[in-house]
């Protein structure tokens, strides 16, 4: 019996290194998503005040989880190069606020949906797609996170819901504005949108 | 105006709509518009690939000089980007020659949603518990089974055609006329949803161009034809008689729409809230979603 256990341990030990190398992006995303779910389920946070605390927690996690500069670059594409460094910084800040305003209500509306992380597929040398499925009562919604290796960390730069990529969707909209207008016009549009909230 | 007159008008309108679909189909066939064309890098930058590579080389050279210029800690994350760094943001595109018209219809549909569909769905949701609405949605899913069987067959997915046939048989009997998706819930049988628009896509036909229909929403020339064919494959289409569109099947369609919306109140609002230009956001989401289903 003892021998068998030690054999088992040996096998597990042998397996570990491969898993460690393969599973880091998936685990990073999973940990972040789970901490959001944990914040949502916290029974101490109720009512309006509780919702505020939840939102703050989500913002902290999102800052850790996403690379908003990378996300902005990929959304603007080569148009990014038309922006001055100051305009780039302002764009990233505005875009981040817009995404936060748009999705925070959706996230705090979370009840008891189950999130299953299924697998990860490499997209390029530095990018990987982490696939998950959110099971609601009526449907299975595939949500894929595209992550990029930054230093030693994996950061999300795109979210693909039901096959619809977030950055592609915004790129289509920004392209239309930047086609005939200078970057300042886009920034002004975004400022107005943020101001309305 | 009495009832029979109304119905006659409705039928005339439907005939008109039907002819429009055919017309659009024919136009799309001959116009040779290839729809979802691959990303065109020149359009974004006005620069060719070679220039792009030069810029890439220059960009990597600039990194060093930027660092010395800025007194603070070296941060190159706001530096220029190159084609390869950002190409993943490029999704499929669709031609939109009718944009002004489509935008007008989109505006109309937006009002239909907020003034009619949403209030109806909210009232419906208030009256009927979720369980019952779930049965209704399973029922309508089951009614669409012939669409899935035929199109899986046409696409050469014989296995899935068989699975969908089995699902239809199980759900119509054990699932009490399709009220429960017992095939999935009890036996864990997973089918494959598909439609005639995708069958056309499978055979290499492009979308033609983007098209927004009053009440029905986002579509393309190709997928409009798909709707027509799928409509004729649905058993409920023939409920009220032999006419292609009659008050009975149109009524069922509206009920299905209200029932579906009752599960999704807030989704459209969130999309609109998140978008800079909701019309473009929906157009892009539609084309991305349809492309993904083809894969």
H-type alpha helices, chain A: 2-41, 47-65, 68-76, 85-108, 166-180, 183-196
Q: Do A172 and B91 touch (CB under 8 A)?
A: yes
Report the pLDDT averaged over residues B280-285. 95
> In chain B, which ranges are E strands?
210-213, 217-220
Which single residue is written with the structure tokens 């894969």? B295
B59 versus A152: the higher-pLDDT residue is: A152
Q: Which pLDDT value is given to residue B14? A: 52
Binned at pLDDT 50, 70 and 90, residue B54 comes out as very low
B270 with A174: Cβ contact below 8 A: no
List the single residue in A with minimal CA-CA distance to B278: A173
Q: Select the residue of A89, A162, A173 nearest B280 (Cβ to Cβ).
A: A173
Choose the weakest-confidence range: A178-187, B107-116, B126-135, B264-273.
B264-273
Cross-chain residue pair A102–B274, CB shorter than 8 Å: yes
For residue B204, give the DSSP letter.
T
In angstroms, what separates the C-alpha of B241 from chain A's closest C-alpha?
A: 32
Per DSSP, the residues of B9-29 read: HHHHHHHHHHHHHHHHHHHHH
> pLDDT by residue (tens digit) across A119-149?
899 988 889 999 999 987 777 889 999 999 8
Residue from the list B55, B89, B270 with its beta carbon closest to the beta carbon of A168: B89
- B75 falls in which pLDDT band (50, 70, 90)? low
Say if residues A127 and A147 touch (Cβ distance below 8 Å). yes
- The partner residue sitting opposite A162, judged by closest CB among B130, B270, B289, is B289
Chain A's closest residue to B266, CA to CA, is A106
Residue with tokens 């779910």: A37
Nearest-CA distance from A15 to chain B in Å?
32
State how far the Cα of B30 lies from the Cα of B221, in Å rounded to an integer. 12
Query: B272 — phi, psi (to 5°)?
Result: -65, -40
Q: Which two tokens stand for residue B260?
A: 């579906």
Interface test with A, best of B45, B139, B276, B278 (most A CBs within 10 A): B276
How many CB atoms are closer than 10 A to CB B193? 14
> What residue of A is the nearest CA neighbor of B272?
A102
Tokens 């941060």 -> residue: B75
For residue A56, is pLDDT > 70?
Answer: yes
pLDDT at A167 exceeding the cut of 70:
yes
Chain B, nearest residue to A106 by Cα: B270
Count of A–B CB contacts within 8 Å? 113
Residue B65 pLDDT > 50: no
Q: How far is CA B209 from CA B33, B228, B242, B288, in A?
A: 7, 17, 31, 14
CB contact under 8 A, B41 and A78: yes
Consecutive H or E run containing B162: helix B158-173
Cα A102 to Cα B269: distance, rounded to the nearest angstrom? 10
Q: Residue B196 corresponds to which tokens in the numbers above?
A: 């005639």
pTM > 0.80: yes or no: no
A158 to B270: CB separation less than 8 angstroms, yes or no = no
Least confident stretch, A7-21, B197-211, B226-240: A7-21
B82 has pLDDT over 90: no
Reading the block at residue B18, the tokens are: 């039907």
Strands B217-220 and A140-150 come out as unpaired
CB-CB neighbors (< 8 A) of A88 in chain B: 78
Closest-CA distance of chain B to residue A106, Å? 8
Of A81, A85, A172, the CB nearest to B284: A172
pLDDT band at A18 (very low <50, low <70, confident <90, very high): very low
* Bridge partners, residue A144, by sequence: A131, A160
CA distance A69 to A92: 6
Radius of gyration for chain A, computed over Cα atoms and rounded to the nearest angstrom: 20
How confident is the model at residue B15, as a pLDDT? 54
Token code pair at residue A48? 């309006």
Give the pLDDT of residue B45.
Answer: 41
Residue B77: phi, psi to the nearest 5? Answer: -70, -15
Average pLDDT over residues A25-32: 88
How many Å lie between the alpha carbon of B87 and the closest alpha carbon of chain A?
Answer: 7
Residues of B in contact with A79 (CB under 8 A): 44-45
- What average pLDDT does range A142-167 have in this prediction? 91
* DSSP, residue by residue, B49-104: HHHHHHHHHHHHHHHHHHHHH-SSS---TTS---HHHHGGG-------TTHHHHHH
pLDDT band of B156, cuts 50, 70, 90: very high
Candidates B142, B147, B132, B146; CA nearest to B259 is: B132
Note whether B161 and B194 are within 8 A (CB). Answer: no
CA distance A161 to B292: 11
Among A93, A34, A29, A40, which Cα is nearest to A65's? Answer: A29
Residue B139 tokens read as 């029922």
**Confidence class for position A31, pLDDT limits 50, 70, 90:** confident
DSSP reduced 3-state for A184: helix
Write out the DSSP string of B168-229.
HHHHHHTTTTTTS-HHHHTT--------HHHHHHHTT----SEEEETTTEEEEHHHHHHHHH
Least confident of A12-21, A65-74, A161-170, B11-20: A12-21
Instruction: Please say whether the beta carbons of B160 and B192 come within 8 A.
Output: yes
Q: Among positive and negative, which fits the CA dihedral B20, B26, B29, B33?
A: negative
Q: Which is higher by pLDDT, B83 or A114? A: A114
- Asked whether the beta carbons of residue B86 and residue A123 sit closer than 8 angstroms, the reply is no
State CA A72 to chain mean position distance.
13
- The DSSP-derived string for A129-153 is EEEEEEE-SS-EEEEEEEEEEETTE
Query: Could you tell me the pLDDT band of residue B8, with boundaries at 50, 70 and 90?
Result: low
Identify the burial level of A10 via C-beta atoms within 10 angstroms of its C-beta, where 0-12 means exposed, 13-18 middle and 19 or more buried.
exposed
Please tell me the distance from the alpha carbon of residue B205 to that of residue B208, in angstroms, as a whole number: 8
Nearest to A84 by CA among B66, B71, B68: B66
């Amino acid at each position: 019996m003892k021998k068998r256990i030690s054999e088992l341990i040996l096998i597990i030990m042998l397996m570990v290194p491969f898993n460690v190398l393969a599973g880091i992006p998936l685990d990073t995303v999973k940990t972040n998503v789970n901490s959001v779910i944990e914040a949502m389920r916290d029974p101490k946070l109720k009512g309006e005040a509780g919702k505020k605390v939840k939102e703050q927690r989500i913002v902290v996690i999102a800052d850790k989880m996403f690379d908003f500069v990378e996300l902005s670059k990929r959304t603007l594409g080569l148009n990014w190069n038309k922006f001055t460094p100051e305009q780039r910084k302002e764009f990233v800040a505005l875009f981040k606020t817009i995404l936060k305003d748009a999705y925070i209500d959706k996230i705090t509306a979370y009840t008891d949906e189950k999130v299953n992380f299924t697998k990860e597929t490499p997209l390029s040398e530095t990018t990987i797609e982490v696939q998950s499925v959110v099971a609601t009562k009526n449907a299975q919604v595939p949500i894929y996170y595209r992550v990029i290796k930054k230093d030693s960390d994996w950061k999300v730069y795109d979210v693909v819901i039901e096959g619809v990529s977030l950055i592609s969707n915004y790129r289509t909209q920004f392209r239309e504005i930047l086609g005939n207008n200078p970057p300042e016009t886009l920034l002004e549009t975004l400022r107005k949108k943020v101001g309305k909230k | 105006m009495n009832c029979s007159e109304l119905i006659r008008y409705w039928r005339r309108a439907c005939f008109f709509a039907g002819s429009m679909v055919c017309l659009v189909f024919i136009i799309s066939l001959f116009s040779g518009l290839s729809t979802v064309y691959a990303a065109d890098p020149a359009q974004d930058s006005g620069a060719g690939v070679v220039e792009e590579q030069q810029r890439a080389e220059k960009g990597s050279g600039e990194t060093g000089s930027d660092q010395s210029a800025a007194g603070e800690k070296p941060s190159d994350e706001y530096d220029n980007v190159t084609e390869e760094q950002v190409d993943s943001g490029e999704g499929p595109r669709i031609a939109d020659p009718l944009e002004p018209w489509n935008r007008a219809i989109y505006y109309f549909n937006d009002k239909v949603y907020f003034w009619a569909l949403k209030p109806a769905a909210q009232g419906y949701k208030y009256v009927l518990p979720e369980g019952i609405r779930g049965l209704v949605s399973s029922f309508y899913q089951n009614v669409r089974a012939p669409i899935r069987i035929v199109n899986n067959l046409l696409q050469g997915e014989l296995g899935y055609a068989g699975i969908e046939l089995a699902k239809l048989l199980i759900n119509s009997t054990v699932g009490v006329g399709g009220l429960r998706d017992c095939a999935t819930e009890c036996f864990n049988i997973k089918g494959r949803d598909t439609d005639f628009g995708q069958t056309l896509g499978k055979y290499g036909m492009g979308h033609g161009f983007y098209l927004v229909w009053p009440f029905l929403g986002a579509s393309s020339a190709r997928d409009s034809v798909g709707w027509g064919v799928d409509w004729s494959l649905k058993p409920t289409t023939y409920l009220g008689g032999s006419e292609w569109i009659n008050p009975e099947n149109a009524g069922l369609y509206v009920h299905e729409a209200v029932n579906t919306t009752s599960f999704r109140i807030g989704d459209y609002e969130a999309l609109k809230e998140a978008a800079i230009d909701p019309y473009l956001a929906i157009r892009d989401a539609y084309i991305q979603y349809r492309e993904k289903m083809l894969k």
